[in-house]
Amino acid sequence: MKQMSLRSMFLLLFTIAFSIGLFALCYLSFTNGDDWTSFPANRHIYKNGTIVNAGDITDRDGVVLATTEEGKRIYNPDFYIRVSTLHAVGDLKGFIKTGLSTSHWDTLTGYNRVTGLFSAKSGGNNIELTLSAKVNTVALKALGNYSGAVGVYNYKTGEVVCMVSSPTYDPTKEGKEDKGIYINRFLSSSYPPGSTFKLVTAIAALETLDDAETRTYVCDHGTTVEGETISCMSKHGEMTLREALAKSCNAYFSQLAIDLGADTLQKYADKLGLNSAAEIDGIKAKSGRIDLSNIRKVDLGWAGMGQYTDLVNPLGYLTVMGAIANEGKAVKPYLIESVTSADGIKFGSSSTDYTSQLFSRTTANKLKEMMRYTVSSTYGDHRFPGLSVCAKTGTAEVDEGITPHSWFVGFNMNDDYPLAFVVVAENAGAGVGVARTVANKTLQAAKELF
């Protein structure tokens, strides 16, 4: 009897040890399987260090952005299509980590995560994107020599129609030495938001202050907080929120931020997702950073208008624009419309997905009206023919003596063209200049999609 129990005990221990081992193997193979298989030595996927046997990547109109011919990866013959869609499509060697050729190599090559096998037919799966090569081309040309990012999406469906990052390069040629070219600035960078952040402060005010629309602050070429000056470009006098947003008054928003308090502003920055990494088709973007802990009063004033240490990520910001346009609840942006197998079977079609209610419908509609007024009264509707743009500029100070970043963010109010956008042009000066021009050119091209 005693011997039996010892034997069962041994068997039991053996079974447990075996199960742990099996579990560990399954776990490791599931979590690392991709790395093991995509290791460049694996000749199924890589040949001479470049990806082969991958399916086509096409834009929303069926324009082939990348394909495989006789074991060789080929890009679109048009130079501007190649370079403007490169950060979405990815390069041959996997340097652009967020490019689909790297992030979705398993889908493209037909690798099955569970079986570890490739689909029987060579050529893998095809990925159809929501992007428009045409709109991307226009956006990149509009950016000219400026580094930066342009993102435009349909705030009703979630389709990203434009995603451009500059600088870029021709994937058929060797990349430059500069590592910065491999970064998709729309997904993997964070920038000081400058005055575009006044929208976040406005949301916090509209959500928490009963008199948000009627309370006034005085601007005397700025304001003084605890002996330190926060300057403003004009002497705006006494203003309400609506006027202060349209004129982008620093004095108003710094005093408003101080009255809201660090906790409230922090709460809304967090709620809007500005401190979390946004995601698009499983690709993780960089998180922004709004940290108002242990902040001095005067710095809270600066933070409330997008300076201090504030940083935002363009994709995260685009989602916030989508939420303002869409009654406080954003449609999540996506890039992959569908995936089709080598034998023509469509699977993995995307569907419209929403964020939680980020702020109330009332707040969204009030802010929408204010952003509309900002465009019609300050920038001028004639600058956006055929559109009813709601927007905010930003001129984000970087370091002393360096030209600030130029921002233009917002959306078209008209449901016929439900487009939200984020444009940032690095060291391009006032938002009302370069970024505004890039936004209009890109929107005019995106309008043609409807």
3-state secondary structure string across 170-185: CCCCCCCCCHHHHCCH
Residue 219 interacting with Zn ion (CB under 5 A): yes
Shortest Å, Cβ 223 to Zn ion: 8
Candidate ranges 195-203, 224-232, 299-307, 425-433; the one touching Zn ion (CB under 5 A):
224-232
Shortest Å, Cβ 333 to Zn ion: 34
Binding Zn ion by CB under 5 A: which of 87, 198, 236, 436? 236
Q: Which residue stretches of 144-197 are H helix?
A: 185-188
Shortest Å, Cβ 231 to Zn ion: 9
Residue 249 interacting with Zn ion (CB under 5 A): yes
DSSP string, 28-53: HHHHHHHHHHHSTT-TTTEETTEE-S
Q: What does the alpha-carbon distance between residue 216 and residue 251 come to, in Å, rounded to a whole number?
A: 11
Residue count at the site for Zn ion (CB under 5 A)?
5
Q: What is the SS3 assignment for 230?
A: strand
Task: Name the amino acid, one letter, at 327.
Answer: E
Q: What does the alpha-carbon distance between residue 293 and residue 312 come to, in Å, rounded to a whole number?
A: 17
Shortest Å, Cβ 249 to Zn ion: 3
Closer residue to Zn ion, CB minimum distance, 121 or 235: 235
Q: Please say whether the beta carbons of 289 and 309 come within 8 A.
A: yes
Closer residue to Zn ion, CB minimum distance, 219 or 396: 219
Candidate ranges 92-100, 131-139, 235-243, 426-434; the one touching Zn ion (CB under 5 A):
235-243
Pick the closest to residue 289 from 271, 314, 269, 267 (CA basis): 269
Residue 245 interacting with Zn ion (CB under 5 A): no
110: left (phi over 0), alpha (psi -120 to 50) or beta: left
Pick the closest to residue 215 from 268, 254, 256 (CA basis): 256
Shortest Å, Cβ 251 to Zn ion: 4
Q: Which helix (H) or strand (E) holds 10?
A: helix 2-38
Residue 305 interacting with Zn ion (CB under 5 A): no
Closer residue to Zn ion, CB minimum distance, 82 or 236: 236
Candidate ranges 234-242, 280-288, 336-344, 369-377; the one touching Zn ion (CB under 5 A):
234-242
Q: What does the alpha-carbon distance between residue 318 and residue 320 come to, in Å, rounded to a whole number?
A: 5
E strands along 167-270, which residues?
A: 217-219, 222-225, 228-231, 237-239
Shortest Å, Cβ 246 to Zn ion: 11
Binders of Zn ion among 144-183, rule CB under 5 A? none
Candidate ranges 54-62, 123-131, 227-235, 369-377; the one touching Zn ion (CB under 5 A):
227-235
Candidate ranges 4-12, 105-113, 203-211, 226-234; the one touching Zn ion (CB under 5 A):
226-234
Closer residue to Zn ion, CB minimum distance, 197 or 417: 197
Looking only at Cα atoms, what is the longest distance across the chain?
96
Q: How far apart are the first and last CA of the chain?
A: 81
Residue 198 interacting with Zn ion (CB under 5 A): no
Kindly report the length of the chain.
450
Candidate ranges 39-47, 147-155, 231-239, 419-427; the one touching Zn ion (CB under 5 A):
231-239
Give the HSE-up count for residue 118: Cα atoms under 13 Å, Cβ half-sphere: 19
Shortest Å, Cβ 304 to Zn ion: 13
Candidate ranges 3-11, 27-35, 247-255, 290-298; the one touching Zn ion (CB under 5 A):
247-255
Residue 230 interacting with Zn ion (CB under 5 A): no
Q: What is the DSSP letter of 404?
A: P
Binding Zn ion by CB under 5 A: which of 127, 129, 232, 262? 232
Residue 225 interacting with Zn ion (CB under 5 A): no
Closer residue to Zn ion, CB minimum distance, 232 or 324: 232
Closer residue to Zn ion, CB minimum distance, 255 or 266: 255
Q: At what angle do helices 198-208 and 262-271 cross, to 10 degrees?
A: 110
Residue 256 interacting with Zn ion (CB under 5 A): no
Q: What is the DSSP letter of 254?
A: H
Give the binding site for Zn ion (CB under 5 A).
Answer: 219, 232, 236, 249, 251
